[in-house]
Amino acid sequence: MQESNVASELLSSGAKCIRNCLKTRIKLPKKEMGAFLDKPKMEKFNAHGEGNGLRYGLSSMQGWRVEMEDTHTAVIGLPHGLNPWSFFAVYDGHAGSQVARYCCEHLLEHITSNPDFRGGGAGPGGGEEKGRAILDRHGPEPSVESVKSGIRTGFLQIDEQMRAISERKHGADRSGSTAVGVMISPRHMYFINCGDSRALLSRGGRVHFFTLDHKPSNPLEKERIQNAGGSVMIQRVNGSLAVSRALGDFDYKCVHGKGPTEQLVSPEPEVYEIERSEAEDEFVVLACDGIWDVMANEELCDFVRLRLEVTEDLERVCNEIVDTCLYKGSRDNMSVVLVCFPGAPKISQEAVKKQAELDKYLQSRVEAGASKKK
């Protein structure tokens, strides 16, 4: 009991959410049609960077899945005169990684280069150059509605382009991908979501905003699916696909007489604009459902906040998120991007001290357990 009290004391103030995470034991995945490995692939891909007053880190892990189908984008300083802007995104592929990989490489260009993004009507010739010159100046940003319209147009354009590429090949690609991202300008954040990956914003010490998952059981999504002649069974489109919006998935986008946004699966993103708050904005988390399946919004937000009081290494924080989700039983690929604003939590010497005490205690328990086995 004395050892238990020591552990409780060490954990109580600085690592409450970690303690809660450790209450959940590893859940080994059931064998399902060869979709899972015998043991998880725990090697991680990491990256980090900074600029435009932002710092970011990311981590991705294949986990239990047979293939790695997640991709990501992290760009500070955008093209077409948008150097003060940044863009981050996570793409969660399914039935293959082709669509996710194509979006990773081309979606941003489709968004920023289309005329709608620059205010509309900038066609060939002088119009496009005029629109670009407007963005080159450090003056007013493009209007909020122009940016939102440009993002939507970019999604529809890339989806149509991928369909054309797929149809030119023998044997159409049947993969699809969700997309969740954030475009950050000097004055605004544009949260972008298509599917069931998720983004959240921590502001003033709490979850200020999060995107809504596009599930077939959502009333508006279900209505569109039924209007296109489909059905929702076991919370899936036609009993098969677990998301109601995605890029790719062209088997679900062939209903005659219906436009691109009226199909069984829609490529149209929801775009949310939030004005930046220099004093209160802390960080943004973008993650696929392999993370959100086992961690709630508030739980993950608290986890990140506490880890930022211990380390400035954003890759390390993202790795800890992924490892924690694997421990909690996530069976999917896992990808997370963490973007920190200047107002993010800072290193706390008290938190660092408590972490060191906790590490020392856990190490002693490991050594004690090892000695008992000898």
pLDDT tens, residue by residue, 142-153: 899 999 999 999
- For the chain, list the domains and their CATH numbers: 9-372 (3.60.40.10)
- Both tokens assigned to 310: 């211990």
Which of 29-38, 93-102, 246-255, 362-371 has the weakest average pLDDT? 29-38
What does the pLDDT average to over 59-66? 97
% of the chain surpassing 70 pLDDT: 82
- The bridge status of strand 176-184 relative to strand 82-94 is antiparallel
Give the pLDDT score at 366: 79
**Is the per-residue pLDDT at 313 higher than 80?**
yes
Give the pLDDT score at 306: 95
Give the pLDDT score at 172: 66
Give the pLDDT score at 139: 53
Q: Give pTM, 2 decimals.
A: 0.87
Give the pLDDT score at 112: 96
| 326 closest CA partner among 38, 36, 40, 32 | 40
Q: What is the residue-averaged pLDDT of the chain?
A: 88
Give the pLDDT score at 13: 41
pLDDT grade for 205, boundaries at 50, 70 and 90: very high
Give the pLDDT score at 21: 55
Query: Rounded to an integer, what distance in angstroms lies between the CA atom of residue 11 and that of residue 19?
Result: 7
What does the pLDDT average to over 83-111? 97
| 288 closest CA partner among 46, 1, 27, 68 | 68
Give the pLDDT score at 355: 86
The model's pLDDT over 151-195, given as tens digits with 9 standing for 90+, comes to 999 999 999 999 998 776 655 678 999 999 999 999 999 999 999
**Is the per-residue pLDDT at 23 higher than 70?**
no
